[in-house]
Structure 1
Amino acid sequence: MSRVKFLVTIGLIIQIIMLPGCLPLGQEGPPDVPIPSRIVDVNNNLITTVSQVRTIPVDLDNIAPEMQQAIVAIEDDRFYQHRGIDFRGLGRAIYQNIRAGEVAQGGSTISQQLAKNLYLGPERTLDRKIRELFYTIQLERTYTKKEILNMYLNHVYFGQGAYGVEAAARTYFDKSASELSLGESAMLAGLPRAPSYYAPTTNFEGAKERQEVVLRRMAELQMISPERAREAREEHLEPRAKVDWFQQAPYFVAEIIKHFEENYPDGMEMLYTAGLRIQTTLDLNLQRAAENALQQGLDNVNKDINGALVAIDPSNGYIKAMVGGRDWQSSQFNRTLARLQPGSAFKPFLFTAALDSGYTAASTIYCSPVTYTQAGSEPYTPTDHRGGYHHRPFILKQALAISDNVVSVKLADMIGPETLIRYAKAMGIESPLRPFLSLALGTSEVTPLEMAVAYGPLANQGVLARPMYLLRVTDQEGRVLEEHSPNLAKVIDEKIAYIVTDMLQAAVSPGGTAAQLSWMVSRPVAGKTGTTEEYTNAWFVGYTPELVAAVYVGYDDKNRKVGLTGGDIAAPIWGNFIEAGLKERPMEEFQVPEGVVQEEVCTADGRRATALSENTMTAVFISGTEPRLPCYGDRWLQRPQDSGEGPDDIDY
């Protein structure tokens, strides 16, 4: 392009700019500004924004005044005087471009930079520059200076993947933009010119030199005094040594994004540009407690083991916490939705079905060798932990507390596997279940989320609450695009639910498979451990009156064994989560429904205990089903012989 032609073109641009009512590129109104959608938790706390870039939008009032001044001083000191185009700066740029014979220097104002960031690519051509000027004038006609500065500070790139000052403040100084000091503000304000070069994490000396330029310019413009500039220059700054972008609750957020992908034709475009407000069921306080508990528990084993934790409010189905793995960056696979064998954590569904079929907590079953013939497969001989038997009777409450396998399989045979499946499905299990007796020991695959949901009726007086991610989605004008309410259904009698809860409280008491929870958690809890064959998976699913949580621990490589029981590894993770997550909430007791009674019974025969009874246990019954006949002692019982194992050694 000749210099004459270049001058003529610039002259035409200036004339067009001066014309009143000029609209960019034939538009009939101001250009749309794409606004990322905001995902918030159940308490309206921001979880994240959904954008094609990493950004955390923030209002101008929540940006330190020093940061606002610093960016204006170094990027566009006449920002409040011009109307989008600074003719002094443009004149300097024109002179330099004429000398170079091309567009070599921009002289861009903050408004121009915003127009470029919002609508244009990075190419440096005359056509792009003309369109940039058009959009700049439109922005100035549409928005106030404060609004333009706010948008600019939310869009400008500060390096290390951080778009916007809030993301930059968190990335480099681990604080919000409202907390930035003058020294930190001046250092950040110097980054947009060359973010990769001036990044304080990689070139601190260069960042300090650039900070000095910003502070000097602020002093020249009398935004700050020379004394304040000196103090800021001498301020001790410690940028984060390692910059990791942290997205809160990434596995949960991924499910929200998937919802929009699957339910809206232009779902991702809506999320990126429509400024939706998406209120979810998540509770960030519980989420952080879940992430910390899982991470610490897995770290106690080794760096390769993985796991998951999901928590639900049983009264409404709100998913309050979801951790699909130990590290989102390494693996985006959500293990709370993975089908896995739950081991003995599946047994509460069996005992629920049995109690509703006429058995009681004091019904007795003898633990002894038994073999079942099965059509189309080998005979099945269940054994207890490490292959032994107890050769003694157990009441059902004790059998569940110590997780006796043989008693569970015999019970499944008595009520039928189809009955077990019917109850498990009614309580919330959706995965396919195989109608074999071994199902009682958790040999069919289910997800941790399903397990948490299906334990819910036990905590919620027999009422199932289907899981919920979303509460409400609104657009920028506040119009409701979708809204969800709890989906509740009574699936078991509240008295049966309470009796099973009482039985599961024994499992977390001294003598149970998760006895350590009796001193780890300072509130009423109930739950069940699970360990699959050869220690491949470890589980604990449990609940308080207000929260149900499922913990799974295992390797992604299915050939590797955890080598620990659910009581060893999963239960402590669960306990730490509950104790930390609910520490600010008042303790609640499990509600006792009308029509149940409590009775002390002998563990030997399930009869009413007397002064002569040696081994007894408190159990709960539907009124009228409690034992009437007395127990006269159990010295006659035969002790375990072939395995040498006691109750504490049974399958966990």
Structure 2
Amino acid sequence: MKKIIGFIIIIISFLVFYFTSQQAMMAYETSKHIPKKKVEELPVVSLSQNSVFYDRNNNPFYIPASGDNRINLKSGDIPQLVKDIFISTEDRYFYSHKGIDLFGVARAFMVNVSNSGIEQGASTITQQLARNLYLTQARTVERKIKEIQISLQLERQYSKDEILEMYINTIYFANRNYGIEAASKAYFSKSVKDLSIAQTAFVCTIPNNPTLYDPLKNFNNAKKRQERILGILRDQGKITEQQYTAAMKEKITLKKDSKTQEYPDYYSYVDSELKSILAGKKGKFNTSKLSAAQQTELKKLKTVPERALYLQNQGLKVYTSLNPSVQQATVNAVNRGTLSTNTQGAAVVVRNDTHEIIAISGGRNYEPHNLNRAFQSYRQPGSTIKPLLVYAPYIETFGATPDTKVNADNYCKGTYCPKNDSKKEYGDVTIRTAMQNSYNTAAVRLYEQLTPRIGYSYLDKFGFRTITNEDRVELGRALGGFNVGMSPLEMTDAYSTFGNNGVFYENTAIKKITLRDGTVLYDNEPKAIRVYNPSTNETMRSMLNSVVKDGTAKHIYMPLNYIGGKTGTTNDNTNLWFMGLTSNYTIGTWIGNDKQRIPIPKNYSYPPTQRIWQNIVVSGHLY
């Protein structure tokens, strides 16, 4: 009975082979009469690749886990052994045929029949590439004819080495891994160039049948095929007998690669900044340096988000300003500093001279894809707004000095009657004293004299996103009572002006973006906006120093080359802020509840924002 069934299978297989061969010959004969096509007539496909994000030391810290995993290699970077394996097992006469190999079909047919299984494929490497790039995997005669036609065209347009390169970068290695380099890193945590002969043969088993030879699910199947491949390599003289023996004895131990996913707080912001760059909203991203295929694909996309997403999947190398040690210190400080109050928090660290965001905490025990409170949460800034909206503009406008006097007694204008936090009156005080002790009534009097119009002529230079028309007329904004408010990142950016001689820069996380081959597509060029003249800036630095040395932040005073800052508290103790500077850095901290009206428990000797700030400076060595 088995012999009869086997005979029937052979007859059916022969008929399929004969019919397919006839179709192939017809397609081949037809192709002779097709005019030579230009390269552009067969669409060039741009393969998606992972983008990789690097810290300031050029070490990768984040590789997005979503989507397909592919790292394209140039032909010269693909080990010869890999090429030998695929040619030996998939298409032995690859370098001699013109895209289809009828004799190869016959050989595969005979080998498969004699081995009662699928040992050799009937499709050439070129046909497989045609199928992977331009067609579906459907097994129909119509698809096979198209596959042959495209294969013939591929052979016209590309060299054999180019076809082999594309094939090795395109084939599927199971578990969402495409191409040999991604597979090597996925299963052995190293580049394909660093694999042993045994490991190379093992990983090259997978594309023949990614389900059957999935190394994570069907290790034994993959191991048996690896041994057959090693035998083929030995028989064809691609490896020596000694290499074969050693490879057969070598134990295969998978070392599954966990994609680098460090510092999610920082990556969350970098991802947002990258989308702005790719959407054309920030800086200049040079698409003219993309490949012809990439530019062609880009032109097909109609919406800005579609274009940005496409570009992000083109194997970009994104170089950032992340300082890993400062990032860890910042995250730890926020986690510890919000524990006793059971609140949320955020912190941003900016390096003043380079205008770089070097660390971000998006919240206590921040998890990827959650709300990043450092740049996505807007809160009333309290008294931290006073230096930006009141004191610096007042000094600049009227030529005031730290010794200029202002009244700090009770104040009323109509129904608006703010009080000092202590509920006391202080008479005439210097503006240095008024700011270092955060007297509210003094700040409102200065703001009224200055006028909101002039105050906002300075504040608008910082680019705060959520200022409303009502904010622009109400005197209470001098005390930070905005309709929506500011994010910790916005406030830190603004305060870094005091560390740059009165010049504002929009600090950034991304320094440079390149393709895998190093071609630069984006280079950050921070724009400078003069906000205060140098003398005003020096006066403000002196007054900010007084806040820390003798005022509301004196608990965290340290004898540094420079230290200065401003505290902020909103009504009912719902938000606490501290914006501070050292010689080279600006650090902004905030704590509060996600439900904005819930007050922060007053179970502390001095505000946690100041303790968080101090811990970041000390642990991060930001002197």
The reply to whether TM is greater than 0.5 is yes
**The one of 13, 23, 30 aligned to 2:24:** 13
For residues 149-548 of structure 1, the aligned pairs below 5 Å read 149-172=164-187, 174-180=189-195, 185-193=200-208, 203=217, 206-207=218-219, 209-211=221-223, 213-222=225-234, 223=238, 225-230=243-248, 232-233=250-251, 236-239=253-256, 249-258=267-276, 260-261=278-279, 265=302, 267=304, 268-269=306-307, 272=310, 283-286=320-323, 288=324, 292-300=328-336, 301=338, 329-331=368-370, 336-349=375-388, 350-356=390-396, 357-363=398-404, 370-374=410-414, 378-384=415-421, 389=424, 395-397=430-432, 399-401=434-436, 403-405=438-440, 407-409=442-444, 411-413=446-448, 415-432=450-467, 433-444=471-482, 445-466=485-506, 485-507=525-547, 513=553, 516=556, 518=558, 524=562, 526-543=564-581, 548=586
Q: CA RMSD in A?
A: 5.3
Letter in 1 for 2:570: T
In structure 2, what is the equivalent of residue 115 of structure 1? 130
Structure 1 residue 266, shift from structure 2 partner? 5.5
CA distance 1:486–1:68, change in 2 (3 Å):
same
Q: Greater helix percent: which structure?
A: 2
Does the 8 Å contact 2:95/2:160 carry over to 1?
yes
CA distance in 1, matches of 2:76, 2:344: 42
Letter in 1 for 2:46: P
Greater CA drift, 404-413 or 350-359:
404-413
CA distance 1:50–1:159, change in 2 (3 Å):
closer
The SS at the match of 1:31 is coil
The SS at the match of 1:233 is coil
In structure 2, what is the equivalent of residue 622 of structure 1? none
CA distance 1:461–1:270, change in 2 (3 Å):
closer
TM-score under structure 1 length normalisation: 0.67
The SS at the match of 1:221 is helix
CA distance 1:543–1:7, change in 2 (3 Å):
farther
Greater CA drift, 495-504 or 73-82:
73-82
Does the 8 Å contact 2:71/2:315 carry over to 1?
no
CA distance 1:373–1:183, change in 2 (3 Å):
farther
Structure 1 residue 260, shift from structure 2 partner? 4.3
Structure 1 residue 346, shift from structure 2 partner? 1.7
Does the 8 Å contact 1:448/1:551 carry over to 2?
yes
CA distance in 2, matches of 1:492, 1:426: 10
The SS at the match of 1:489 is strand
Does the 8 Å contact 1:342/1:443 carry over to 2?
yes
CA distance 1:277–1:177, change in 2 (3 Å):
closer
The SS at the match of 1:495 is helix
Residue deviations 1:113-161, cap 9 Å, x none?
4333322234333333333333334444444454444434443344444
Does the 8 Å contact 1:507/1:515 carry over to 2?
no
In structure 2, what is the equivalent of residue 628 of structure 1? none
CA distance 1:321–1:294, change in 2 (3 Å):
closer
CA distance 1:194–1:7, change in 2 (3 Å):
closer
CA distance in 1, matches of 2:385, 2:83: 58
Structure 1 residue 537, shift from structure 2 partner? 3.6
Does the 8 Å contact 1:279/1:470 carry over to 2?
no
CA distance 1:55–1:416, change in 2 (3 Å):
same
Does the 8 Å contact 1:372/1:379 carry over to 2?
yes
Equivalenced residue count is 566
Unpaired runs of 5+ residues, structure 2, are 1-11, 282-298
The SS at the match of 2:596 is coil
State percent identity of aligned pairs: 26
Letter in 2 for 1:348: P
CA distance in 1, matches of 2:605, 2:108: 70
CA distance 1:294–1:11, change in 2 (3 Å):
farther
